Chain A
Amino acid sequence: MNTPIRETSDGTLAHGVFLFLLLLTLWLLLAGSLDPAELVAGATVSLVVTMISRPHLAIFTGLKLTPAAIPPFLSYLGLFMVELVRANLDMARRVLTPSLPLQPALVEVKTELQSPLGRLILANSITLTPGTLTVDVQEDRLLIHWVEVPPDLDSEKIAQAITQKFERHLKGFVK
């Protein structure tokens, strides 16, 4: 995660509200009740934390906070879940095959996502998809360890296709 975190505080008020709601939701989930006392305590703590940490949390400015960002987010979640299950079945097959079918290599791909948050989500998604592990992020290039590189095909192109599959959805809700 070597992406330089830009210390710009160009986040809008909406990002502050988003952070506040995120913290409040976390508080209420952990408290496990909608008691008025819990609500007041949670809101107070969330507000204080938001005001203190707001200038340092540049990572959330990568979020697009518009209603149009919701469908891509949901379709991304769906894709992610499917890929996660596929990754596990794939890994289970490899581990259980006596001959251990492996042909690992490091492949470099480019990403179009600009924000640190977008790259973080992309890198995490790649790590949890079949046979790939993000090793390093340098500027807009991701170094990916691949369990089985197809021998005769252009591996860079295929890796790029994997990346773009996620990017298409991610672009909808992160910069």
Chain B
Amino acid sequence: MRLLADLFLLVGAAFTLLGALGLVRMPDVYNRIQAGTKAVTLGALSLILGIGLLYPQWWSKLLVISLLILVTNPLGSSTIARALLMAGVAPWKKAEAKTPQESET
């Protein structure tokens, strides 16, 4: 049980790390949102599962937390993306990226 919990904690940490890496590497804000949302949602769920295995008496609160994360995480991302689109931030396109130095900043 302890080993399984550690495994889930490790996977969760790894996905969260990948999410952070995605934030750094992605070319524009929409792709950053994509990387951030997905990785952090699964990362957080995996961490919660790991914690649930370590401390089974907390399962009810952990369940509420994971449901909250599952609903609010994508919703928040969509709202941010929508606000950006309405503010006139155009999505990055590979064909237009003639000056990669610019798009990487």
Task: List the interface of chain A (C-beta within 8 A of B).
Answer: 1, 26, 28-30, 32, 84-85, 87-88, 91-92, 94-96, 100, 102-106, 120, 123-125, 127-128, 131-136, 143, 145, 147
A91 close to B74 (CB less than 8 A): no
Given A26-B64, A95-B18, A128-B41, A104 and B75 touching (CB < 8 A)? no
User: Closest B-chain residue to A120, C-beta based?
Assistant: B75
How distant is B47 from chain A, measured CB to nearest CB, in Å?
A: 13
User: CB within 8 A of B31: which of A87, A127, A147?
Assistant: A147
A104 close to B30 (CB less than 8 A): yes
How distant is A35 from chain B, measured CB to nearest CB, in Å?
A: 13
Chain A positions within 8 Å of B28 at CB level: 104
User: Closest B-chain residue to A131, C-beta based?
Assistant: B34
B91 close to A133 (CB less than 8 A): no
B77 close to A133 (CB less than 8 A): yes
Chain A positions within 8 Å of B57 at CB level: 32
B79 close to A133 (CB less than 8 A): no
User: CB within 8 A of B18: which of A92, A106, A124?
Assistant: A92
Chain B positions within 8 Å of A104 at CB level: 28, 30-31, 91-94
How distant is B45 from chain A, measured CB to nearest CB, in Å?
A: 8
User: Closest B-chain residue to A28, C-beta based?
Assistant: B60
Given A105-B91, A127-B37, A135 and B30 touching (CB < 8 A)? yes
Chain A positions within 8 Å of B27 at CB level: 100, 102
Q: How far apart sit A163 and B91, CA to CA, in the bound complex (Å)?
A: 21
A124 close to B41 (CB less than 8 A): no
